[in-house]
């Protein structure tokens, strides 16, 4: 069974644990990056905003960052890429993957109200479109609905990343991948679209985690 490192505490990331373990992966949650070397893959979870200084900008709509987490996850991305081990980024995680590879972010997207979590109703839902070359195309086809809970988005793509999905309505980048598809990420939250959290107004998030698992077979 492949072991996946996740920077953080299991108690606050139960949905990620359930999704990883639901497809037969072992999840190691820790804030000690030194434990990552024993793991087979990396999951970068959602969370707060990345310090804009990490991508050469001054604050312009970003929320207060967590410098310790930023530093740890940037180092983890570099390590796992250098080791040739698979990597999956979710929401903040896909942003971190992009920043680690030299990309930039839109700190507060003009259409944020179409993407931010509704304080009363929870995640929003919108359509995304994907090219046939995307890892997502065999899973879902060229257009499908996902949940949404973010106010930032990828801008300039990092070195070696290519587009894997866009928001149909406004063109916001919703997923990216490396050419070999062993490092990839999505802006939505598939862990909140799968297993006990499966919802009728989006696709099933489980295939994204199954795709990750299959990289270890």
Q: Which of 115, 150, 151, 189 is catalytic?
A: 189
pLDDT at 121: 74
pTM equals 0.96
Q: Is the pLDDT of residue 114 over 90?
A: no
Q: Is the pLDDT of residue 122 over 90?
A: no
Q: Is the pLDDT of residue 214 over 80?
A: yes
pLDDT at 115: 79
Q: Which of 91, 115, 126, 177 is catalytic?
A: 91
* Whole-number Å distance between alpha carbons of 75 and 77: 5
Q: Is 39 a catalytic residue?
A: no
pLDDT at 175: 98
| Residue spans of beta strands (DSSP E) within 22-152 | 26-30, 41-44, 87-90, 105-106, 124-129, 143-148
pLDDT at 17: 98
pLDDT at 110: 78
pLDDT at 211: 98
- What is the mean pLDDT of the segment spanning 147-168? 97
- What is the mean pLDDT of the segment spanning 197-217? 98
70-104 pLDDT tens trace: 999 999 999 999 999 999 999 999 999 999 999 99
Q: Which of 73, 174, 177, 191 is catalytic?
A: 191
> Is there a contact between 139 and 207 (Cβ–Cβ < 8 Å)?
yes
pLDDT at 112: 61
pLDDT at 116: 77
> Is there a contact between 36 and 71 (Cβ–Cβ < 8 Å)?
no
* Whole-number Å distance between alpha carbons of 56 and 87: 24
Please, what CATH class does the domain formed by 3-214 belong to? alpha beta
Average pLDDT across the chain, whole number: 96
112 SS3 class: helix
19-73 pLDDT tens trace: 999 999 999 999 999 999 999 999 999 999 999 999 999 999 999 999 999 999 9
> Is there a contact between 141 and 151 (Cβ–Cβ < 8 Å)?
no
Q: Is the pLDDT of residue 113 over 80?
A: no
């Amino acid at each position: 069974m492949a072991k996946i490192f996740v920077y953080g505490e299991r108690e606050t990331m139960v949905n990620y644990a359930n999704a990883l373990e639901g497809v037969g992966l072992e999840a190691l949650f820790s804030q000690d990056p030194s434990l990552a070397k024993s793991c087979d893959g990396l999951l970068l979870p959602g969370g707060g905003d990345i310090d804009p200084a990490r991508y050469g900008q001054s604050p312009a709509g970003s929320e207060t960052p967590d410098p310790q987490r930023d530093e740890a996850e940037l180092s983890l991305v570099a390590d796992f890429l250098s080791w040739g081990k698979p990597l999956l980024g979710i929401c903040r995680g896909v942003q971190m993957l992009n920043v680690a590879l030299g990309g930039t972010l839109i700190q507060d997207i003009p259409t944020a109200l179409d993407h931010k979590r509704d304080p009363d109703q929870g995640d929003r839902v919108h359509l995304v479109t994907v090219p046939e070359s995307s890892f997502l195309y065999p899973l879902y086809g060229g257009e499908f609905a996902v949940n949404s809970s973010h106010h930032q988005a990828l801008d300039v793509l990092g070195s070696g990343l290519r587009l894997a999905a866009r928001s149909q309505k406004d063109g916001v980048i919703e997923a990216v991948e490396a050419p070999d598809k062993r490092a990839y990420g999505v802006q939505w939250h598939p862990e909140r679209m799968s297993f006990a959290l499966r919802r009728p107004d989006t696709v099933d998030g489980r295939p994204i985690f199954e795709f990750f698992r299959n990289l270890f077979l």
